[in-house]
C-alpha cells in the first residue's frame, strides 16, 4: 500500500544528507556499471568465438578415410581405405534418430571451369541438398541442389560468390552454361555466399551422383558429413556428438579392419568437441567477471548499510516516539528497508542504464576476431535489477533490526 508520508520522510532524509547519499549511491552505481561492462565484454568474447566456429555448422561431424599405417589381423599397412555410397547409407540408417542434416561428398580439387572467354581452376564438390546447411551457405541467387537433381544425375551447378565475380562479373549467371574440364556442360542454377569468405566461395557444388559419373568414380565418395540433433543445452549436444563420433569411428574400423591405435587411417572429427574448451573458457571468464562485479556491488551495499546505521542513530529519538505512540517493530523495519532499497535501486539502475548505453554505443565499433558485438541481453538486465532489490533489502536489514529493538524510554533520553 502506498504511504505518502513515508516517501516524504525518505526524501527529507536524503535532502538532509545529500553528499553522504551521493557518495554512497556512486559506489553502488559504479558497481553495477562495472558488472554490466564486464558481462558485455564476456558476451562479446563468446560472440567472437562463435564467429570463429560459424564457417560450418557448430554441431558437425566429418568422416574421412586415408591409408592404413599399421599392420592388423594379417593385413599389411599402406591399404587405401575407400568409402562408398553403401557406407553412407549404412551409417544413415544406423544413426537416423541422431542426425539433423547429412551429406556424402565427392571432391575434385582442380576442376577447370570455362564461361565464354573467362576461365579458372576451382574446387568441384558433389554433394546432397543438406550440404547448404552443413556448410552454413546462404543462397544469394537461384536455388541449391534438389533431391530430383541427385536422382536424375542432372548437370546443374551452384557456384560460390567468388566464382560468380570471376566468371560472371557483369552477368546474371542463373541459367547460363559453363564448361567443366573442357568437355562437360553444366547449367548454373544458384549462387551462394559462405561465412568462410573467398576460399569457401571459390567452389562449385554439383549433385553427388553427377560427380561420381562425370569423374568416373562409380560408387566412391571422399567424405561424409553430419550435423547432430541439438540437445537441451551445449553440454548435452556435445555429449551426444562425442558418442556418435566414437560409435561411427568404431563402425568404420570394424568395416575396414583397421587397428584400434591407427589414428591416420580413419578420422572422425567432431566440431563440438573442438569448440568445447573455448566455450568452457568463456564460462570461466564470465564467472570471474560476475565475481568481480558482485564484489564491487557488495562494497557499495556495505556503504548503504553504513548510511542506514547513521540514519537510525540520528533518528533514535524519533523512532522512540513512534514506538511510544504504538508503532509496530515491523513498521519500523519496513521504513528503514524501504529507504535502503530506494537508494540502492535508484543508484543501481543509473549504473545499469549507463553501462547498457555505453555498450550499445560502442558495440558496432568493436568487431574483431577476439570480441564481437559486446552487449547485455534482457535476461542479464533483469538479473541485475533483482540483485539491486535484494542488495537494498540486505543493506537495510541490520540497521532496521537495530531500529526495531530501540526501547522508547532509552530513545527519549538520547541526546
CA distance 349 to 338: 16
Identify the pLDDT of residue 387.
Answer: 77
Mean pLDDT, contiguous 10-residue spans, the chain (415 residues) = 62 70 77 82 74 61 93 91 95 92 91 90 94 89 93 95 92 93 92 87 94 93 90 73 90 93 90 68 76 74 71 68 71 75 80 85 73 76 76 74 68 55
Q: What is the 3-state secondary structure (H, E, C) of 25-79?
A: HHHHHHHHHHHHHHHHHHHHHHHHHHHHCCCCCCCEEEEEECECCCCECCECCCC
What is the grid cell recorded at 304? 548503504
**Cβ–Cβ under 8 Å, residues 240 and 228:** yes
Identify the pLDDT of residue 413.
Answer: 58
Identify the pLDDT of residue 274.
Answer: 63
Amino acid at each position: 500500500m502506498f504511504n505518502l508520508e513515508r516517501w516524504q520522510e525518505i526524501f527529507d532524509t536524503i535532502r538532509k544528507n545529500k553528499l553522504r547519499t551521493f557518495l554512497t549511491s556512486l559506489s553502488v552505481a559504479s558497481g553495477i556499471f562495472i558488472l554490466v561492462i564486464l558481462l558485455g565484454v564476456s558476451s562479446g568474447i563468446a560472440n567472437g568465438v562463435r564467429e570463429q566456429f560459424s564457417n560450418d555448422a557448430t554441431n558437425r561431424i566429418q568422416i574421412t578415410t586415408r591409408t592404413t599405417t599399421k599392420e592388423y589381423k594379417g593385413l599389411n599397412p599402406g591399404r587405401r581405405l575407400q568409402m562408398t555410397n553403401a557406407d553412407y547409407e549404412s551409417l544413415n540408417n544406423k544413426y537416423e534418430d541422431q542426425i539433423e542434416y547429412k551429406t556424402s561428398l565427392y571432391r575434385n580439387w582442380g576442376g577447370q571451369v570455362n564461361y565464354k572467354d573467362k576461365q579458372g581452376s576451382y574446387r568441384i564438390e558433389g554433394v546432397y541438398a543438406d550440404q547448404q546447411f552443413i556448410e552454413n551457405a546462404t543462397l544469394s541467387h537461384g536455388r541449391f541442389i534438389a533431391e530430383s537433381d541427385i536422382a536424375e544425375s542432372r548437370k546443374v551447378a551452384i557456384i560460390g560468390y567468388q566464382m560468380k565475380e570471376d566468371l560472371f562479373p557483369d552477368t546474371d549467371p542463373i541459367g547460363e552454361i559453363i564448361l567443366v574440364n573442357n568437355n562437360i556442360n553444366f547449367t548454373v542454377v544458384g549462387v551462394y555466399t559462405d561465412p568462410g569468405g573467398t576460399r569457401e566461395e571459390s567452389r562449385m557444388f554439383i549433385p553427388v551422383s553427377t560427380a561420381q559419373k562425370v569423374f568416373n568414380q562409380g560408387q566412391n565418395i571422399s567424405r561424409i558429413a553430419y550435423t547432430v540433433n541439438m540437445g537441451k543445452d551445449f553440454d548435452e549436444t556435445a555429449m551426444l556428438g562425442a558418442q556418435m563420433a566414437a560409435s561411427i569411428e568404431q563402425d568404420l574400423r570394424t568395416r575396414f579392419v583397421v587397428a584400434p591405435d591407427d589414428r591416420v587411417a580413419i578420422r572422425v572429427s567432431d566440431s563440438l568437441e573442438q569448440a568445447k574448451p573455448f566455450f568452457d573458457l568463456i564460462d570461466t571468464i564470465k564467472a570471474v567477471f560476475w565475481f568481480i562485479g558482485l564484489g564491487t556491488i557488495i562494497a557499495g551495499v556495505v556503504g548503504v548499510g553504513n548510511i542506514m546505521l547513521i540514519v537510525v542513530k540520528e533518528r533514535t529519538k524519533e523512532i522512540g516516539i513512534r514506538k511510544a505512540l504504538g508503532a509496530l517493530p515491523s513498521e519500523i523495519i519496513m521504513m528503514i528497508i524501504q529507504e535502503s532499497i530506494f537508494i540502492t535501486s535508484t543508484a543501481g539502475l543509473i549504473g545499469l542504464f549507463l553501462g547498457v548505453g555505453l555498450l550499445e554505443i560502442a558495440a558496432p565499433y568493436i568487431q574483431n576476431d577476439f570480441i564481437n558485438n559486446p552487449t547485455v541481453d534482457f535476461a542479464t538486465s533483469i538479473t541485475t535489477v533483482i540483485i539491486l532489490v535484494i542488495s537494498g533489502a540486505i543493506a537495510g536489514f541490520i540497521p532496521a533490526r537495530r531500529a526495531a529493538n530501540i526501547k522508547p524510554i532509552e530513545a527519549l533520553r538520547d541526546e
